[in-house]
Structure 1
């Protein structure tokens, strides 16, 4: 069971044709889906005392899918597809001659260079979204997320079909989500990013992170307390997080350069586009037990990306490097900010893949 099944399961209760409740979620005619960026299932269980409301709900987890990265998971939320189908295969990935940062929709090597005109979001991710399908079936579909996301490439690519309400903080996020489900057959996707940001800078489980978790718990409780009768709050996440232990620096390890044409992905999962078949064996030998290093064909055959379409195949890279334990492959010169983060995610450990799926239902009058 994966994040790709969440929205179809919820839309089945809203009578959207073709939406199957494969997760067996309770049906409701008014639904708020709150996605808390970085709220891993294992982290929530470990720090349950700091999230009494969320921890009071029936404990259930599903998989984020691979890579366990924000843009990939949000694409699965929006489309109901796995990464190998919708093609948003990570934080950064190659599309033709460009390496796209899927969160900013900019050139990865030049943060801020807008690629929405040359890499049109609706072309990069051409599948109809679940929100479009729901809206066509008469459901009032809303997305409540930070103001800057309103016309972003990622929003256009995977959340199109929803009425977007931009928010600035906890207060308008909570009230916006509640306001969006006041009518029958309404669905609201709400997104909160700050727990992930705090985890990146200070580490998951740090004092700063725990205080932010308390705020998130209060946010969820406040939304739940204001929902109309018969409504439902579902809380999930896009990935978990690990605290980095050892950094292997691609930019200062010449042995890793040989035969590599393009490096994409992020520190916990790297995509290598290569000019030599020897890259696979070189990286396997160098990283040893610190990583799973597979050819693209091996990773696809192993089912890491789910079913893989021609759209996604070239984006995956010739070699896929999934880091184990708490190791990372950073780029100190090309990605100085990213390389210095304390908490990271993207790979295949349970700490990164397992996400909560928590349901709070409001009794009908």
Structure 2
């Protein structure tokens, strides 16, 4: 089980990711071991199988699933080998890269929805200038921004038939190339061809590995709030999707369902683009509304640290970069390239707090559902094991 901690005042401490033991980085190594791909002993255990399918449901947090189990009876009935932790920041581009590479964020260097790299503020989901439309795939080559080889590449090199089943618009995208390169890409448009694509990818014969991705639960949480009626109805659709796939699985295939992060509703927003107190001494701000890297002007670190702590109060954990690194927020090792992307001050939101950017991140700043921080609601994701149910 994931350990909960409290500080000396009895206040909940950050839920630090359990890198190397129970995090997203340990999921694919377990699946590769299950289908017989040689490698180090995995930290997690998945039953042996001829083929394996991994379905990642964006925004499927363990705590949310537990609270709304009535809306997802099939998912709630599955054996859960989790929960596992997302990683920090607990956001999609970071989680998918940890999943795809098998290493923590400090090793792969994808450290925020927006990332300061090569002098550009990179939107790591769209691979564009943050707040703009300029495609950066030529100036910031995805395989160089994230150079760690993927586990899909390793599996394919070992003779495994690897498939990536996700939205067609992601074909050749910066994030796909950075996090999930190495598999045959199968583009989807709706739940039907997602289910069919996953099933077709593991139909056999031979050793096969399929990664499938569903986006819409996360979208409903962002737009309407986690636990809202639209979110719950979408969860019911996800539940039916998994049941349909599980009922049609070949008997020698294992299906694993997980998420990349959970989500919280935010009700206290601080606007770093319009608040002169928060912007004083700040050279650049990257990351996510719930997990910010504050890049500070020369000589201003102590002042900015004190100011952000005073303004955010108990709404965030605000620490200098050295403490975040030493405490293992990004993993046991932080590569030099990754260290340059960490802010001088690192902010992880608590409660319903969000640090928005109303000018640079107009769309996401308006959203009532957010994620990225070190709370249980954001960090914990399930690891559900499904197989075809016996008939008769």
Residue 291 (structure 1) aligned with residue 316 (structure 2) = yes
> 1:11 and 1:226 mapped to 2: Cα distance?
22
Asked whether the equivalents of residues 224 and 360 of structure 1 are also in contact (C-alpha less than 8 Å), the reply is yes
SS state at 1:138 partner: coil
Where does residue 119 of structure 1 map in the other structure?
140
Residue 258 of structure 2, aligned match among 223, 236, 257: 236
Where does residue 337 of structure 2 map in the other structure?
311
Q: Shift in Å at residue 295 of structure 1?
A: 1.0
TM-score (ref. length: structure 2): 0.91
Where does residue 51 of structure 2 map in the other structure?
30
SS state at 1:315 partner: coil
Where does residue 193 of structure 2 map in the other structure?
172
Where does residue 235 of structure 2 map in the other structure?
213
Q: Deviations over 1:218-258 (max 9, x none)?
A: 00011111111111110000000001111111122111111
Structure 1 segments (4+ residues) deviating >2 Å: 361-365
**Paired residues for 1:253-332 under 5 Å:** 253-275=275-297, 276-277=300-301, 278-306=303-331, 307-332=333-358
Where does residue 110 of structure 2 map in the other structure?
88
Asked whether the equivalents of residues 249 and 387 of structure 2 are also in contact (C-alpha less than 8 Å), the reply is no
Asked whether the equivalents of residues 230 and 364 of structure 1 are also in contact (C-alpha less than 8 Å), the reply is no
Deviates more, 1:57-66 or 1:350-359: 57-66
> 1:268 and 1:72 mapped to 2: Cα distance?
14
Q: Shift in Å at residue 363 of structure 1?
A: 7.5
Residue 161 of structure 2, aligned match among 124, 140, 152: 140
Residue 43 (structure 1) aligned with residue 64 (structure 2) = yes
Q: Shift in Å at residue 361 of structure 1?
A: 2.5
SS state at 1:119 partner: coil
> 1:99 and 1:20 mapped to 2: Cα distance?
38
Q: Deviations over 1:34-87 (max 9, x none)?
A: 000001000001000110111001233110111100000000111001000011
TM-score (ref. length: structure 1): 0.98
Where does residue 194 of structure 1 map in the other structure?
216
Q: Shift in Å at residue 285 of structure 1?
A: 1.6
Where does residue 378 of structure 2 map in the other structure?
352
Q: Shift in Å at residue 317 of structure 1?
A: 1.3
> 1:53 and 1:169 mapped to 2: Cα distance?
20
Q: Shift in Å at residue 364 of structure 1?
A: 10
> 1:57 and 1:363 mapped to 2: Cα distance?
11
Q: Deviations over 1:92-122 (max 9, x none)?
A: 1100211110000001031x21000000001
Q: Which runs of 5+ in 1 are unaligned?
A: none
Asked whether the equivalents of residues 229 and 364 of structure 1 are also in contact (C-alpha less than 8 Å), the reply is no
Residue 74 of structure 1, aligned match among 93, 96, 114: 96
SS state at 2:164 partner: strand
Deviates more, 1:237-246 or 1:281-290: 281-290
Deviates more, 1:24-33 or 1:151-160: 24-33
Residue 61 (structure 1) aligned with residue 87 (structure 2) = no
Where does residue 8 of structure 2 map in the other structure?
none
> 2:243 and 2:279 mapped to 1: Cα distance?
50
Deviates more, 1:250-259 or 1:127-136: 250-259
> 1:311 and 1:27 mapped to 2: Cα distance?
37
Residue 7 (structure 1) aligned with residue 28 (structure 2) = yes
Deviates more, 1:19-28 or 1:195-204: 19-28
> 2:273 and 2:34 mapped to 1: Cα distance?
51
- The CA RMSD measured in Å over matched residues stands at 1.3
Residue 334 (structure 1) aligned with residue 360 (structure 2) = yes
> 2:390 and 2:127 mapped to 1: Cα distance?
43
Asked whether the equivalents of residues 28 and 230 of structure 1 are also in contact (C-alpha less than 8 Å), the reply is yes
Aligned residues: 364
Asked whether the equivalents of residues 29 and 185 of structure 1 are also in contact (C-alpha less than 8 Å), the reply is yes
> 2:259 and 2:70 mapped to 1: Cα distance?
19
Q: Which runs of 5+ in 2 are unaligned?
A: 1-21
> 1:345 and 1:85 mapped to 2: Cα distance?
21
